[in-house]
Amino acid sequence: MFSLDWIYYAISWILLAWHSAWDAIGVPETAFLGTNWSWILAIIFLVVTVRVILFPIFVKQIKSQRAMQALQPQVKALQEKHKGDRETLQKEMMELYRKEKANPLMGCLPMFLQIPVFLGLFHVLRRLNPDPAKANKDIYGWTVEQFNSASDATLFTAPIASKFGSTAAELAQLGANGTTVKVMAGVLVLVMMGTTYLTSRQMILKTGWAEDPQQRMIQRLMLYGIPLSLLISGAIFPIGVIIYWVTNNLFTLGQQQWVLRKFPPPVTATSKPGTGAQPAKTSGLFGRSKPAPAPTKPAAPKVAGPKPGAKPANPKKGRPAKRQG
């Protein structure tokens, strides 16, 4: 059976290294405002470490999406040519992607590569338990002191190992107040959903909706499906994991903004220079489309009238006299 222990050891090592760094700097170990900031900062900088490692892949993702966008006119032509013949259409499109070295799956690769990190942190945090009878403190290179410190770590008095769906027995073991945990976890889940939606929306507004039905379906899943699924699954995530997710989303928003400015959308035959999007519509609030303003007609040139007090001009004066027959 394939073991995931190497992921748990790697996540634990990064987490503990950052906690030790903040502890050495002088970040207090005791709670301030009900929060153990050294552990919160360790989770935040776990995100920074992972995103720095994955940055080259993220740049490749943007370049691949640019290539896919540039191929949209050819994809649309293939769809018209093989309308009703889905099998031939898929073969032709795969050949087009291979020829142009565009990978439709590259857009999801950074997210998939972060799933092991998310699962690793989820697994490690759910093992935290201050109850000596139920806690396994010999895990993934942790010392007993580090384990006890992390088990007692809180965010505004809510333990980072607690979750919205924690049972009364679990809350009692963590010494947590059920109302505080539910309020803190509920707010974080809503922030997690909102930032997840914004990261997908930001990318789609910059790159445009795909012409390929499969790619468009993936975009809709990323934009609506994943945030809505978090409303249910977020109840089982420890608060520490939600902090990781929200921080990752905020980091993604900033990183995407920088990369999208550095690699602007290509100008195609159906787009205006500098936009890279469909010219007929402009993006409104929450991605809704609104009609582009209608072109205005140029105003007719005004003819200057006579000045006040001046004699009216005689239109016949100055014309050549008629020749006598």
Predicted local distance difference test score (pLDDT) of residue 294:
53
Predicted TM-score (pTM) of the model is 0.72
Q: Residue 307: inside a domain, yes or no?
A: no
Looking at the 3D structure of the chain, how many domains does it have?
1
Asked whether residue 241 is domain-assigned, the answer is yes
Q: Which domain holds residue 126?
A: 5-279
Two structure tokens written together for 180:
């505080």
Phi/psi-derived region of residue 101, left when phi > 0, alpha when psi is between -120 and 50, beta in every other case = left
Residue 27 lies in a domain: yes
For 164, other C-beta atoms within 10 Å of its C-beta total 19
Please name which of 239, 199, 247 lies closest in space to residue 45, comparing C-alpha atoms: 247
**Is 283 strand, coil or helix?**
strand
Q: Of the given ranges (179-183, 199-203, 289-293), which has the lowest mean pLDDT?
A: 289-293
What distance in Å separates the CA atoms of residue 139 and residue 258, rounded to the nearest whole number?
A: 39
User: Which of 64, 49, 188 lies closest to 114 in space, CA to CA?
Assistant: 49
- Sorted by sequence, the CB contacts under 8 Å of residue 186 that are 6+ apart come out as 164
The residue-averaged pLDDT of 82-86 equals 83
Pick the closest to residue 234 from 185, 280, 268 (CA basis): 185
Residue 259 to residue 137: CA distance in whole angstroms: 42
**Mean pLDDT rounded to a whole number for the chain:** 79
Q: Using N-to-C axis directions, what is the helix angle for 239-262 and 37-70, rounded to 10°?
A: 40
Is residue 322 one of the residues assigned to a domain? no
In a domain, 30, yes or no: yes
Alpha helices, DSSP H, located in the chain: 5-25, 37-70, 72-81, 86-100, 109-126, 144-152, 168-174, 178-207, 213-220, 226-233, 239-262
Question: Sign of the C-alpha dihedral, residues 160, 166, 171, 176?
Answer: positive
In a domain, 295, yes or no: no
Q: Indicate whether 222 belongs to any domain.
A: yes
Asked which of 93-97, 184-188, 310-314 is least confident by mean pLDDT, the reply is: 310-314
Whole-angstrom distance, CA of residue 289 vs CA of residue 282: 6
Query: Does a structural domain hold residue 259?
Result: yes
Taking CA 8 as the corner, what is the angle to CA 40 and CA 59, rounded to the nearest 5 degrees? 75
Strands 158-159 and 281-283, bridge-based pairing? unpaired
Q: Are 148 and 163 in contact (CB under 8 A)?
A: no
pLDDT in tens, 252-263: 899 888 877 876
pLDDT tens track for 233-288: 899 999 999 999 999 999 989 988 887 787 676 555 444 444 444 443 434 433 44
> What integer is the mean pLDDT of 20-26?
92
Do 93 and 111 contact (CB within 8 A), yes or no? no
pLDDT digits (tens, 9 = 90+) for 116-162: 888 899 998 888 877 666 556 667 889 888 888 898 899 999 999 99
The per-residue pLDDT for 320 is 55
